[in-house]
Structure 1
Amino acid sequence: MSNSGEFGWRQATLGLGGNIGDPVSAMAAALRHLDGRSDCRVTAVSGLYRTPPWGKVDQADFYNCCAAIETTLAPEPLLDACLDIEREMKRVRIERWGPRTIDIDILTYDNASVDGEHLKIPHPRMTERGFVLMPLADIAPDLIVRGISVADWLGQSDCSGIEVANENRAWWRG
């Protein structure tokens, strides 16, 4: 049974981040892995951002980016592919909002709305987080999420402490 046949190529956006080990290398490797799959292709990657920890603040800064992809995978198999990459990269997550080696979140998938037990699209907290909206605005400022453009959501968000770590959008290619 195929996970892709009836779906054709669909647009999705991903948020990536981490703060243990070498998160920049981990995110770059994850993007290259996705781009190397026959059912996914990376079409745009944001600059790289250094972000103060959010939620649990007594930890190292995070590095974050966003990517636009095209995929023939349905949303749930795309989530499985992202989780497989996290596992292959020996993802460590000690606690919620705590330190992690790599995190890959599906932010949007076409205009789909998914409300599953393990997957919610659009990502339920993406419009509240400057560390998602800043890199997402690099690649998709006009993307509409919950009726409002990413650029407009960004204008309403707190981005204090978030810094551009690398504005070269080819940083992930290695």
Structure 2
Amino acid sequence: MGQALTSKRCYLGLGGNITNELGSPSQHIHNAIQSLEAHPKVTQVKASSLYASKPMGPQDQPDFINAVVGLDTTLDAHELLSLCQQLEQQAQRVRLRHWGERSLDVDVLLYGDEKVNTPTLTVPHPGITQRNFVLIPLYELNPTVEINGVPIADLEQSQDWSGLTRLS
């Protein structure tokens, strides 16, 4: 028998900027959080406030709604990635262009304090330290978390509210 995985505290970034027949970006985020709470291998789900931000990349698209979710899980990192992709599919995500509009994007930001570098997953998320729409909600959830050994409070973008509005 394989050894049981211990629970890891993980953080996911959620965002979206288009409405479809299933709802608005904030509704897609809410639905994803409910699915996480119902998952048998996920516990202690805690969501940040929602934030509005300007899009990265192409500017000819609506602003994004973003949040970060902290959770404990016994899923391994790739199983957690698979769960994130399932949540995107539930929101009928369609990939039209790089950094383009989407109903829901769910990224694995941190998987405990582990580093993962495979063709399908890099953790910590490679853009995490440059994105205030990730760092500010992450800081809201855990002001003492470290990213690559650096306290989040020491990362400039975790204190830079440029282009970001807290919604709730």
Q: What TM-score do the two structures reach when normalised by structure 2?
A: 0.91
* Displacement of 1:41: 2.1
Q: What's the C-alpha RMSD, in Å, of the aligned pairs? A: 1.7
Structure 2: runs of 5 or more not aligned: none
Distance in 1 of aligned mates of 2:94 and 2:117: 26
Shift of 1:55: 1.6
Q: Per-residue deviation at 1:85?
A: 1.6
What SS does the aligned partner of 1:44 have? strand
Cα-to-partner distance string for 1:131-174 (whole Å, 9 max, x where unaligned): 101111100111010121122214566531100111xxxxxxxx
1:39 maps to: 41
Q: How far apart are the structure 1 equivalents of 2:120 and 2:159?
A: 26
**Unpaired segments of 5 or more residues in structure 1?**
167-174
Q: Percent identity?
A: 35
1:71-130 Cα shifts (integer Å, max 9, x gaps): 010000110111112112211221111100000000001110000111000000100101
Structure 1 residue 8: Cα displacement: 2.2
**Equivalent of 1:83 in 82, 85, 89:** 85
Give 4+ residue runs of structure 1 displaced > 4 Å after superposition: 154-158
How many pairs does the alignment contain?
Answer: 164
Q: Kindly provide the amino acid, as one letter, of the partner of residue 15 in structure 2.
A: G
- Give me the whole-angstrom Cα distance separating, in 2, the residues matched to 1:92 and 1:150: 32
Q: Is the 8 A contact 1:128 1:157 kept in 2?
A: no
Aligned to 2:118: 116
What is residue 17 of structure 1 aligned with on the other side? 15
Stretch moving more, 51-60 or 124-133: 51-60
Q: Which amino acid aligns with 1:117?
A: P
2-structure distance, mates of 1:64, 1:117: 26
Query: CA–CA distance in 1 between the matches of 2:121 and 2:115?
Result: 10
Distance 1:7 1:114, change over 3 A: same
**So what's the TM-score if we normalise by structure 1?**
0.88
Return the match for 2:66 from 64, 68, 71: 64
CA distance in 2, matches of 1:75, 1:81: 10
SS in structure 1 opposite 2:167?
strand
Give the whole-Å Cα distance in 2 for the aligned partners of 1:120 and 1:70.
Answer: 19
Counterpart CA distance in 2 for 1:135 and 1:122 is: 16
